[in-house]
């Protein structure tokens, strides 16, 4: 049963209920993108937590597309910064690659800081950095990205930079080669 909450003095559904309702009209992939955004700190404060979502799906008696919701919940991750990071992570999993960690901590001694690449394979020291157009058109972002990649490389990491135009077949080959999965 849907229960309304008050928001700005108006009756509305809770974010968890709205998310649940999307399951009947969205793909699992779309639900994961929505879920990553809802628990993340993208453009607004998080709408709910991953544990509260897990509890909601488990304890709500009548949910449409419960199996789809459960599948999405298994793939939702905290700390994702953009839908393109989600796309890249889900793409890797769909290709049979191990799931990369979201924002793994990498200490970079040359700058005496810990960096967090978009996605990465810690043991293999492989970072995947998604570069949206802003990374190319902003002079400051471009300079910061170069410094970041140089620091990761100096720490012994391989960095694969990905854009919307990246040849995904080649990217998969590069990841497989680096992970020793050929």
Q: Are 16 and 52 in contact (CB under 8 A)?
A: yes
Q: Are 23 and 64 in contact (CB under 8 A)?
A: yes
As given in the structure block, the two tokens for residue 50 are 């991953």
Give the three-class secondary structure for 44: coil
Please compute, for residue 83, the number of CA atoms within 13 A of its CA located in the half-sphere on the CB side: 8
List pLDDT tens digits, range 77-113. Answer: 999 988 999 999 999 999 999 999 999 999 999 999 9
Over residues 161-176, the mean pLDDT reads 97
List pLDDT tens digits, range 28-83. Answer: 999 999 999 999 887 788 999 999 999 999 998 888 899 999 999 999 999 998 89
Q: Give the integer Cα–Cα distance in Å for 175 and 116.
A: 18
Give the three-class secondary structure for 147: helix
**CA 129, 27, 54 angle in degrees (round to 5)?**
80
Q: Comparing 7 with 94, which gets the higher pLDDT?
A: 94
The answer to whether residue 138 scores a pLDDT higher than 80 is: no
- Averaged confidence pLDDT in the chain: 92
Q: What pLDDT does 62 receive?
A: 86
Q: Give the integer Cα–Cα distance in Å for 22 and 96.
A: 27
The answer to whether residue 118 scores a pLDDT higher than 90 is: yes
The answer to whether residue 1 scores a pLDDT higher than 70 is: no
What are the phi and psi torsion angles at 178 (to 5°)? -65, -35
Q: What pLDDT does 4 receive?
A: 62
Q: Give the integer Cα–Cα distance in Å for 60 and 42.
A: 27
As given in the structure block, the two tokens for residue 151 are 């620091």
């Amino acid at each position: 049963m849907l229960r309304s909450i008050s928001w700005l003095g108006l009756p509305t559904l809770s974010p968890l209920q709205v998310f649940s309702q999307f399951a009947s009209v969205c793909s699992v992939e779309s639900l994961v993108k929505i879920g990553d955004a809802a628990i993340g700190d993208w453009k607004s404060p998080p709408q709910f937590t991953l544990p509260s979502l897990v509890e909601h799906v488990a304890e709500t008696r009548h949910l449409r597309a419960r199996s789809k919701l459960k599948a999405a919940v298994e793939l939702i991750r905290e700390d994702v910064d953009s839908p393109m990071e989600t796309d890249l992570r889900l793409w890797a999993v769909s290709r049979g690659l191990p799931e990369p960690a979201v924002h793994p901590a990498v200490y970079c001694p040359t700058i005496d800081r810990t960096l967090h690449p978009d996605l990465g394979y810690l043991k293999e020291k492989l970072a995947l950095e998604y570069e949206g157009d802003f990374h190319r058109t902003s002079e400051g972002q471009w300079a910061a990205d170069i410094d970041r990649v140089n620091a990761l490389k100096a720490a012994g990491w391989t960095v694969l930079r990905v854009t919307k135009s990246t040849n995904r077949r080649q990217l998969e080959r590069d990841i497989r080669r680096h992970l020793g999965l050929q």
